[in-house]
Chain A
Amino acid sequence: MAARATAPARTPVSGALRALTGSVAAKRIAFYLVAGWAAITLNFLLPRLMPGDPASAILLKMTELGPVSPQREAVVHRLFGGANSGPLWDQYVSYLGGLFRGDFGLSIAFYPTPVTDVVISGFWWTVILVGSATVIAFVVGTVLGAIAGWRPGQRFDSIASPLSIFVHSVPYFWIALILAFVFAFQWGWLPLAGGAGRNVEPGFTAAFIGSALEHAVLPAATIVLTSISGWLIHMRNMTASVINEDYVLLARAKGLPNSRVISGYAARNAILPSISGFAVSIGMVVGGSLLTELVFNYPGLGSLLNQAILNLDYPLMQGLFLVISLTVLAINFIADSIYVLLDPRTREVS
């Protein structure tokens, strides 16, 4: 069997190959494999284009906080001075080897804590906070957009649309600062910063969950407030064009109630582009919301990324970028597959 496959029987093999590569699924899988490799390689190269070395970065930070004795300086140079040495190719090979073993090395900023531990410590904070805020913003924004687009130029539309364009153009860290100043500093309704109460022991307890929720309100509100308008405007414009289509007219002519026409006919078609946009933003969730996390001193991936960059922590940067890019790819792959199921037209084209 093996002999036949290698030597004479060329046609059945290449035929099978063609059948395989010809199929939609195989094409997509191949595309994602290439994209994954590109992401992994860029992820290796980009941090190394940054100037500076970790030892000097760590020392600069230490001297800003207080005097550093020559003795400690010598130790820092010995530990981190050669952190990025050796030929690039050798580094690349050992990096790839590490990836397959799930070993990202030791973080420099938190040396000698393994990168995996550091990434996990921020992962859930970010995924829960930014993930839920993104879903809320999408749902609320899309519903409001459909309502606004149903009667373009009417009262709701003429207030909601300009208002959301205004909110959209405000930098979100500024909104974060304002929210923190008003609700936490001036009125003291909500905590100023942090992921949970400092004296609350992390655990599956009512006290901890309550405290974490309290701390999540302001950062989540920041993200929701600033991203809701994008969905709203997009959905409004799509709905406004869809309602002129014949099938909507037909639905109306059949005497269906307005709500049924919006949800079953207009919105159902208008929402398709938003779905793929939603997939992208869900993928981006793991990247964290850097400035929001910084304003609220939130212990998520955005904060970690900031620390990694400030300390020139290549291993941690690699670990974070990899998690981000692979999640984007994975979510996109899922969304692509679902999209094919949702929209019959995409199947016909391919």
Chain B
Amino acid sequence: MNCDEVADLEENYLLGDLKGEEMKDFERHLKACINCAKRLSGYEEVLGTLFGSLKPVAPSPHVRKAVLDQVDGMPQGPVITLERPAPKPIWNRFGQNFGRILSPVAAVLVIGLTVATVFLSFQLQQVKTQQADMQQVLDLTSSPGSWIWSLTQPDVPFDSTAPRARMYARPDSNIYLLTATQLQPPPDGQVYRAWYTMNSTTVDYLGDVKPDPNGNAVLQVANPDHRAAEITGCFITREKAGSPPDQPTGPKFLAWKKN
């Protein structure tokens, strides 16, 4: 299989439609050809991103019900189950003394399981809390009703390597989320601060933006008043570290303004 043939089949490969020899040839080529492997990886990444960024349009509510009604009881495609060899009976290994050996083992197991259950319950509770927190973020970032405002450097031509940020908000969400990327660490003695403008008049402090070593930052702020609809602007400034966050004093480093 050559590069052109691989390129023609890459969508079928991604879909899982290739079978038998064709699949083997495809994967053999992919292992040997870094260009094709790179192109395939880029293809799926870019298309996934483009698809993820489409503005949703709400279909009629009846479609959802129709889908779920239709699949109810409908068989799915083949699911491969791996057959495991049956475990050898424990008494084969222990012979006639298995009962005497098994009793203390069972006691240890019971104690161990009890401890593990308590530990796992605690862990589960923590995971549930994290999940609830994460769900809020996911709802905000993926919901059709959310606003995504892009903060860019004012009066600077588009450059894909420049710092940028996004603010996510929704009228009924309990949080605001601001994400930034490609941020250099602030100069010594300074911090990045995010602000938002309400009704084109008042400026409120959103929080400090702290980039990680990769230049990424996430700021999640409570929005108990549900006033996202009144936001008309949002920006990041560089301020003196330790100064009270009353009003912005530095120039707008990244900004978005409602048209």
**A and B form one complex:** no
